[in-house]
Structure 1
Amino acid sequence: MFNAVRTVMTFAEAPEASARWWGELLDTPVKVDVSDNGAVYAWVEIGGVEVGFHPADDERNPRGGSPVVYWGVDDIDQVRERLLAAGCEHHRGPLTIEPGRRIAQVRDPFGTIVGIEGP
């Protein structure tokens, strides 16, 4: 029924600024579309997945309504430290959820909570 994840949508007050921050951190190009009404949708591609930043809208896309996406990493401690040094804030963890499997969450400078998972 489901195949691979294709797009992860996050809702941000500043979609283009959010995408550019992640694009710079991950050294990946940022793509931007502007609708006829001036709304900006921006995205980066990470590991074959489009990570999109859409304008926040409390009526249609309430805060807290989005899932936390966990990115697989080789070294959770190293990646977490890099994210914190780049401007993210600690949110949760690192936690061992089963032997050999750990998770952590950070909040990026734009309020999006991002998960990382690894050994």
Structure 2
Amino acid sequence: MLRGLANAGLWADDVDAAKDWYTRALSQAPYFERSGPDGRTAYAEFRIGDRPDELGIVDRRYAPPGSTWGTLGPVAYWHVDDVAAALDRLTGLGATPLDGPTHREDGFVTALVNDPFGNTLGLMHSPHYLAVREQAAPGDR
């Protein structure tokens, strides 16, 4: 039923500030943006990684009615080659470390950070991710 990460969506009160921060953190600009009726950026989307996966930033004004944020919910973990280096880079850009790096069984390493906009990002060095990537057809890597 679940076939893979389609989009990791993050919320921000100021999408332009979040877009700028993620542009620096990812070393690339978003490939897609949409403005709201007031002309402010309402959505920005990046394609990142080997597949490439979608990371979207949505204006918090469009959150479902009654939603509350600020508590840890589902976390998308993104594969990185070096968790400690990724953690250092993101904290250097203003993210707050929450956990890790934590060395787990079989070569997995994880860490969590909060971006400056209150979203939790998971960082993971995943031998499984690398094995699946290696098994993919050359055009899919």
TM-score (norm 1): 0.84
State how 1:4-15 maps to structure 2 within 5 Å. 4-15=4-15
Matched, 1:35 2:36: yes
> In structure 1, how many angstroms separate the alpha carbons of the residues matched to 2:12 and 2:73?
11
**1:16: which partner in 2?**
16
Matched, 1:77 2:84: yes
> In structure 2, how many angstroms separate the alpha carbons of the residues matched to 1:23 and 1:69?
18
**1:116: which partner in 2?**
123
**2:74: which partner in 1?**
67
1:118 deviates by 1.1
Structure 2 unaligned residues grouped into runs of 5+: 127-141
> In structure 2, how many angstroms separate the alpha carbons of the residues matched to 1:118 and 1:106?
15
| Equivalent position amino acid for 1:50 in 2 | E
Over the residues paired in the alignment, what is the CA RMSD in angstroms?
Answer: 2.2
| Equivalent position amino acid for 1:75 in 2 | D
> In structure 2, how many angstroms separate the alpha carbons of the residues matched to 1:84 and 1:24?
12
Provide the secondary structure at the position in 2 that maps to 1:99. Answer: helix
**1:50: which partner in 2?**
54
| Equivalent position amino acid for 2:65 in 1 | E
1:92 pairs, out of 93, 96, 99, with 99
Structure 1 unaligned residues grouped into runs of 5+: none
Look at both structures and tell me which one has the larger radius of gyration over its CA atoms.
2
Q: More strand by proportion, 1 or 2?
A: 1
Q: 1:73 to 1:65 in 2, by over 3 A?
A: closer
Q: Is 2:6–2:54's contact at 8 Å kept on the other side of the alignment?
A: yes
Provide the secondary structure at the position in 1 that maps to 2:104. Answer: strand
Q: How many residues align?
A: 119
| Equivalent position amino acid for 2:68 in 1 | P
1:12 deviates by 1.4
Q: Per chain length, whose mean CA-contact separation is higher, i.e. which structure has more relative contact order (CA < 8 Å, sep 6+)?
A: 1
1:8 deviates by 1.0
Q: More helix by proportion, 1 or 2?
A: 2
